[in-house]
């Protein structure tokens, strides 16, 4: 079927014209297309994609040297996804399946990144998007994304866990699809990052570090590594090393945190939806779930930016902080291949980046001598 003749023809009551699929007319090289055989889609599935995935795996020489390490470190830079976080991998499949189910709207609770991704993919699909966020607990970068994509954004006088409970209730309605990581298609889509790591390295790494908030990512990576090995695309499995923030570490402490607190807003979650699966991943892989302090996160945030030129949001730096702590404990064997996932771009939270830079611009007169004085050249 030919595509619509005009933008006005494209949408009918907020939905694409019946029988017309953007994926069919525009093509696409997103994670569903690249890893179709591992995902629950058919040749007739209308894929909703923004060409997510295929993010770089960047070897980090300077950071390893700064730590005095004798191992190889690769940074999986997920901030280069379309909405600047890893959430897009799961959202493409969750929204694709929502269209398949003929849902009229999608809904999510979010600390920011899920709402940004859901809003963008809903816009792509012509769906209504509803996001519930904790009042005053979301960075402006993420709020801006949800609003500009047209999501119905509702602030809850409570935390993420309160918002998720309301989302669960809304999800009982047939016309509304939940796109949090309690949706199994989110986990299925996110596992593709593990495939990409193996494709680049030629096998799985020895250790994989990553932040843990709602615990969907550690769950999905472990699923992906296992599936790839089963299919003969890799020969080994990594130890999964998950890192929570000290003030939001329910898995580490073994109980729900009623009022989680951390500067790393993306992992400020007191009752993770994938708690049990994260514990399984860490145990089966002989890895761990541990915590790092806010100060350790901020130090790692600044260190990564200044040693490797990689700008990430604070929560992303939890995995880097975990590497620093593990190296200090002697827990990273010499010669190991280590991967760390940094989950979101630094522009998600520019205010925190400016504060954590511990630097200010210097104002001078428009004279070359004044500039030379500031940069220390006489």
Nearest to 166 by CA among 152, 149, 174, 154: 154
**Phi and psi of 190, rounded to 5°?**
-70, -25
* Cα-Cα end-to-end distance for the chain: 69
What average pLDDT score do residues 315-324 get?
A: 97
CA distances from 214 to 148, 202, 211, 244 (A): 25, 29, 10, 10
Per the CB < 8 A criterion, the answer to whether 241 and 209 are in contact is yes
* 3-state secondary structure (DSSP) of residue 341: strand
Q: Which residues pair with 57 in a beta bridge?
A: 76
Question: Does residue 13 carry a pLDDT above 50?
Answer: no
Q: Who has greater pLDDT, 187 or 24?
A: 187
**Per-residue pLDDT tens over the stretch 292-307:** 999 999 999 999 999 9
pLDDT of residue 94: 97
User: CA-CA distance, 257 to 254, in Å (whole number)?
Assistant: 9
CATH number of the 57-84+186-357 domain: 3.40.50.1100
Per-residue b or e along 245-272, where b marks 16 or more CB atoms closer than 10 Å to that residue's CB: bbbbbbbbeeeebeebebbbbbbbbbbb
> pTM for the complete prediction?
0.90
Torsion over CA: 296, 297, 303, 304 (sign): positive
pLDDT of residue 137: 76
Torsion over CA: 272, 276, 280, 283 (sign): positive
Which DSSP category does 54 fall into? -
User: CA-CA distance, 305 to 243, in Å (whole number)?
Assistant: 19
pLDDT of residue 212: 97
Question: Does residue 25 carry a pLDDT above 80?
Answer: no
CA distances from 77 to 156, 160, 318, 372 (A): 31, 25, 14, 36
Quickly count: other Cβ atoms within 10 Å of residue 232's Cβ.
7
* 3-state secondary structure (DSSP) of residue 242: strand
**Per-residue pLDDT tens over the stretch 336-365:** 999 999 999 999 999 999 999 999 999 999
What average pLDDT score do residues 95-124 get?
A: 94
Question: Does residue 291 carry a pLDDT above 50?
Answer: yes
Question: Does residue 4 carry a pLDDT above 70?
Answer: no
Confidence of residue 26 (pLDDT cuts 50, 70, 90): very low
Q: What's the gap between Cα 63 and its chain centre?
A: 22
* 3-state secondary structure (DSSP) of residue 306: helix
| Tally: H helices and E strands in the chain | 17, 12
User: CA-CA distance, 262 to 245, in Å (whole number)?
Assistant: 6
What average pLDDT score do residues 250-269 get?
A: 94
CA dihedral 211, 212, 213, 218 (to 10 degrees): 110
Q: Where are the domains of the chain?
A: 57-84+186-357
What average pLDDT score do residues 237-265 get?
A: 96
pLDDT of residue 29: 82
User: CA-CA distance, 12 to 172, in Å (whole number)?
Assistant: 25
* 3-state secondary structure (DSSP) of residue 176: strand
Place of tokens 């009229």: 104
* 3-state secondary structure (DSSP) of residue 278: helix
Question: Does residue 271 carry a pLDDT above 90?
Answer: yes
User: CA-CA distance, 315 to 213, in Å (whole number)?
Assistant: 9
pLDDT of residue 263: 93
Confidence of residue 5 (pLDDT cuts 50, 70, 90): very low
Number of residues in the chain: 378
Per the CB < 8 A criterion, the answer to whether 189 and 98 are in contact is no
Instruction: Give the ranges where the chain is alpha helix by DSSP (H).
Output: 7-10, 22-26, 31-34, 61-67, 87-100, 113-125, 140-148, 160-170, 184-190, 192-201, 216-230, 250-253, 275-284, 294-308, 317-328, 350-357, 368-375
């Amino acid at each position: 079927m030919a595509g619509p003749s005009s933008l006005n023809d494209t949408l009918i009551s907020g939905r694409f014209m019946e029988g017309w699929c953007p994926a069919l007319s525009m093509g696409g090289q997103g994670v569903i297309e690249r890893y179709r055989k591992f995902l629950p889609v058919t040749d007739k599935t209308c894929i909703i994609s923004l060409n997510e995935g295929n993010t770089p795996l960047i070897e980090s020489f300077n950071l390893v040297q700064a730590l005095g390490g004798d191992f190889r470190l690769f940074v999986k830079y997920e901030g280069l996804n379309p909405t600047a976080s890893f959430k897009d991998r799961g959202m493409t499949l969750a929204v694709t399946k929502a269209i398949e189910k003929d849902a009229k709207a999608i809904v999510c609770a979010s600390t920011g990144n899920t709402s940004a991704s859901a809003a963008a993919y809903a816009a792509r699909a012509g769906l209504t998007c509803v996001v519930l966020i904790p009042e005053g607990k979301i960075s402006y970068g993420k709020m801006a994304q949800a609003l500009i994509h047209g999501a119905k954004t509702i602030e809850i006088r409570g935390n993420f866990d309160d918002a998720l409970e309301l989302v669960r209730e809304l999800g009982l309605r047939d016309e509304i699809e939940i796109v949090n990581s309690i949706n199994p298609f989110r986990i299925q889509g996110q596992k593709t990052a593990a495939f990409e790591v193996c494709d680049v390295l030629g096998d799985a790494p020895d250790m994989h570090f990553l932040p843990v908030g709602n615990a969907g990512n550690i769950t999905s990576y472990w699923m992906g590594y296992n599936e790839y090995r089963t299919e003969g695309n890799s020969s080994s499995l990594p130890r999964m090393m998950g890192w929570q923030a000290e003030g939001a570490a329910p898995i580490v402490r073994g109980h729900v945190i009623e009022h989680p607190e951390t500067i790393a807003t993306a992992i400020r979650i007191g009752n993770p939806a994938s708690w049990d699966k994260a514990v399984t991943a860490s145990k089966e892989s002989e890895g761990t779930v541990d915590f790092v302090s806010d100060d350790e996160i901020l130090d790692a945030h600044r260190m990564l930016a200044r040693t490797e030129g990689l700008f990430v949001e604070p929560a992303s730096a939890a995995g880097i902080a975990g590497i620093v702590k593990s190296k200090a404990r002697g827990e990273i064997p010499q010669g190991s291949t280590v991967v760390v996932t940094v989950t979101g771009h630094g522009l998600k939270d520019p205010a925190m980046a400016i504060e954590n830079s511990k630097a200010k611009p210097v104002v001078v007169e428009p004279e070359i001598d004044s500039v030379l004085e500031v940069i220390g050249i006489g």
